[in-house]
């Protein structure tokens, strides 16, 4: 009888665990399309919470009004430059298409030094020379390759619109989370306490919040500022495809590479198409944009948190490969939080040993 009772209880427990697992899996599949957006919205909410708290105090404690004003401001900062850059890209594409259609597009001949380039020099020089002599014949010769490139560019343009929509939804989610910031913080703290205990749960919650705010402001915030400043200058000076170059500047800034990799050739191009004074002013502005991270990071990066830049780099690149542009931001923050949690776990026993040594 005892064996039968044990077997029956084991079967019942297995069935209950299986049903719970199926319920959790089902719920996860339902919310899976929104996980990345909600996570990015939560990161934004944590990053801008200090500003929200100050604005709420100025407005007499009205949380909904403060959250609405911040949400509308962030949306304006995102949508207005995006629309301007999109109009610039569309305008450049239309001008290029009209020149090709009318046969007025002219390509300068290549320099002879192009032939000395390794691997692709001779073939590139031949194709470039052909395009310079007879562009229409070159286009017809490479029609299939150009069709593939055009389809790829159209797909990327459609993807850029979808990414912009995802950012808008994430910002709205961040605004909603700011309204319920206190209850949300309590829920996270209760979950961490349930998972890790009272002391470690509180420590982890504070560490995660500080890390998110530090990376979002000191890395992602600086990258966005550099991209916006560079994009404004590119639009004012009339550089073609300013939106693409602005996006590349932001990507390089996030992965901690010097933006001069993109800005340097653009500066050379500007000197060839404009007069001296605007080109010099543009050069000075772009050089300031390139070095701005050196004094912006100490202002925005949280003190006491030193996440190694390779961690940010791996998180950004891995997130980009896994989830696209939003993954670029989320990956850097999530890997930084994971790194800080791992270091917190690693140093927990070390601190105890160090205290015991001091007492001895």
pLDDT, tens only, 91-111: 666 666 676 666 666 666 776
Domain boundaries, the chain: 211-348
Give every residue of the chain whose pLDDT is below 70, as ranges: 1, 81-97, 99-108, 111-114, 117, 119, 133-140, 142-143, 145-146, 149-161, 297-307, 348-360
Q: How confident is the model over 189-237, as pLDDT tens digits?
A: 787 787 777 777 777 777 777 777 777 777 777 888 888 888 888 888 8
Q: How confident is the model over 314-335, as pLDDT tens digits?
A: 887 788 788 777 777 788 788 8
Q: What is the 3-state secondary structure (H, E, C) of the chain?
A: CHHHHHHHHHHHHHHHHHHHHHHHHHHHHHHHHHHHHHHHHHHHHHHHHHHHHHHHHHCCCCHHHHHHHHHHHHHHHHHHHHHHHHHHHHHHHHHHHHHHHHCCCCCCCCCHHHHHCCCCHHHHHHHHHHHHHCHHHHHHHCHHHHHHHHHHHHHHHHHHHHHHHHHHHHHHHHHHHHHCHHHHHHHHHHHHHHHHCHHHHHHHHHHHHHHHHHHHHHHHHHHHHHHHHHHHHHHHHCCCCHHHHHHHHHHHHHCCCCCHHHHHHHHHHHHHHCCHHHHHHHHHHHHHHHHCHHHHHHHHCCCCCCCCHHHHHHHHHHHHHHHHHHHHHHHHHHHHHHHHHHHHHHHHHHHHHHHHHHHC
pTM of the model: 0.63
């Amino acid at each position: 009888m005892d064996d039968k009772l044990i077997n029956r209880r084991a079967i019942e427990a297995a069935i209950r665990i299986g049903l719970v697992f199926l319920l959790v899996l089902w719920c996860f599949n339902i919310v899976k399309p929104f996980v990345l957006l909600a996570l990015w919205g939560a990161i934004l909410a944590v990053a801008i919470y200090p500003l929200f708290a100050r604005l709420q105090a100025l407005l007499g404690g009205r949380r909904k009004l403060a959250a609405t004003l911040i949400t509308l401001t962030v949306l304006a900062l995102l949508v207005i430059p995006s629309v301007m850059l999109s109009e610039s890209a569309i305008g450049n594409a239309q001008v290029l298409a009209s020149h090709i259609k009318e046969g007025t597009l002219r390509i300068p001949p290549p320099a002879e030094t192009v032939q000395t380039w390794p691997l692709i020099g001779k073939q590139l020089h031949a194709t470039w020379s052909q395009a310079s002599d007879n562009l229409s014949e070159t286009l017809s010769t490479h029609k299939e390759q150009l069709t593939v490139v055009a389809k790829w560019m159209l797909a990327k343009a459609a993807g850029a619109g979808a990414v912009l929509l995802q950012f808008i939804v994430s910002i709205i989610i961040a605004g909603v989370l700011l309204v319920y910031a206190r209850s949300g913080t309590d829920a996270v703290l209760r979950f961490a306490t349930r998972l890790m205990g009272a002391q470690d749960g509180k420590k982890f919650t504070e560490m995660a919040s500080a890390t998110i705010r530090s990376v979002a402001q000191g890395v992602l915030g600086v990258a966005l500022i550099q991209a916006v400043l560079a994009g404004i200058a590119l639009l004012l000076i009339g550089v073609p495809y300013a939106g693409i170059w602005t996006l590349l500047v932001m990507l390089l800034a996030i992965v901690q590479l010097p933006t001069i990799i993109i800005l340097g050739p653009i500066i050379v191009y500007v000197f060839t198409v404009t007069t001296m004074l605007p080109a010099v002013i543009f050069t000075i502005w772009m050089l300031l944009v390139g070095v701005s991270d050196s004094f912006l990071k100490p202002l925005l990066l949280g003190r006491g948190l030193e996440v190694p830049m390779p961690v940010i780099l791996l998180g950004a690149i891995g997130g980009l490969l896994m989830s696209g542009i939003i993954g670029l931001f989320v990956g850097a923050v999530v890997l930084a939080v994971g790194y800080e949690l791992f270091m917190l776990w690693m140093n927990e026993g070390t601190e105890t040993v160090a205290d015991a040594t001091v007492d001895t």
